[in-house]
Structure 1
Amino acid sequence: MSRQPTYSVRFVESATPAPPRSPRVSLWLLRGIVTVHLLAVLCQPVLAGLFLSGDVAAIEVHGIAGSAVAMLTLVAIGVAIAYVAAGRGRLWVLPVAVVLFLVEGFQIGVGYAHELQLHIPVGVAIVVVSVLLAVWAWLPSAASPRRSRA
């Protein structure tokens, strides 16, 4: 007489799939970097204004801060990769960060070339995009995972 096993489970089928993971750590990193980036970007018009009001040394700080803004955007691109890939965050964040970096590089070039007719409007555009990106990062919708295309 052979004994039958008490429990026999070959596989378990779930009627409902597990909910998609929402970005957590990557979102907090993204929020932090876009906030720091925004603060650095907002310093730029202040430094330019100081230069225009007679503080000649402010233009050197303006140039250094511009390079720091671009470096912060490089970090933001890395965090955006983690947010999109590992955290299942919104896909559009990564191309926006890449384009922002390219525009900031252009901005640095026209600034050192003293092309103010380009430098000022591009700077305004960078401020606007940075504000919108930082505001979006702190909205609850940024924490929701992207929808799958099932």
Structure 2
Amino acid sequence: MDTLTPAAPVVRRPRISLWTLRAVITVHVLAAVAQPVLAGLFLTGDVDAIGVHGLIGSLLTLVGMAVIGVALAYVLGGRGRLWVLPVAVLLFLADGFQIAAGYERQLELHIPLGVTIVVVSVLLAAWAWSPSAARPRTRR
């Protein structure tokens, strides 16, 4: 081994933080996708579905808080992508506004915001499970 050649730089990649982020985001997306199904069941006559819809909606904010915490660990500790943290915060805020609009029966806000939450959740989960999420951020 030649002692004059520099050693290859150690590249730190997100591992534990990424797997935790994947798990929490997957829980969030499953709960978000269940919401329109439960709303549809309510509209077809299953009156008990609205109670489950409200419960899962409230739990989404708790999962959203967990997503923020894990995203913080992913960005700071795991050298993950920086944009994940603001997206997690916006998703959490959207979940909160969604609950308020639902309890106020403001369907003109509740339905489009719900669609947005589901789409963003699905896209975030798809990205988290892609190989791109495992790459460390580069220095510019």
Residue 50 (structure 1) aligns with: 41
Q: Which has the larger radius of gyration?
A: 1
Residue 141 and residue 14 in structure 1: after superposition, are their counterparts in 2 closer, same or farther (change >3 A)? same
- Would the alpha carbon gap of residues 13 and 74 (structure 1) be closer, same or farther in structure 2, given more than 3 Å must change? farther
2-side partners of 1:79 and 1:45: how far apart? Answer: 26
Name the CA distance, whole Å, in 2 between partners of 1:56 and 1:75.
30
Moved over 2 A (4+): 12-17
CA–CA distance in 2 between the matches of 1:106 and 1:13? Answer: 60
* Deviation at residue 64 of structure 1 after TM alignment: 0.6
Gaps of 5+ in 2: none
Q: How does 1:53-132 map to 2 (within 5 A)?
A: 53-132=44-123
Q: What is the identity, as a one-letter code, of the residue corresponding to 1:28?
A: W
RMSD between superposed Cα atoms in Å: 1.4
CA–CA distance in 1 between the matches of 2:95 and 2:81?
A: 22
Deviation at 1:70, TM superposition (A): 1.1
* 1:55 to partner: Cα distance: 1.1
Q: CA deviation at 1:20?
A: 2.5
From the superposition, tell whether residues 19 and 71 of structure 1 become closer, same or farther in structure 2 (CA, over 3 Å).
same
SS state at 2:18 partner: helix
Aligned length: 138
Q: What's the CA shift for 1:96?
A: 0.2
Q: Tell me which protein shows more helix as a share of its residues.
A: 2
- Percent identical: 62
Q: CA deviation at 1:106?
A: 0.3
Q: What's the TM-score, normalizing by structure 2? A: 0.94
1:146 has 2:133 as partner:
no
Partners of 2:50 and 2:136 lie apart in 1 by 42
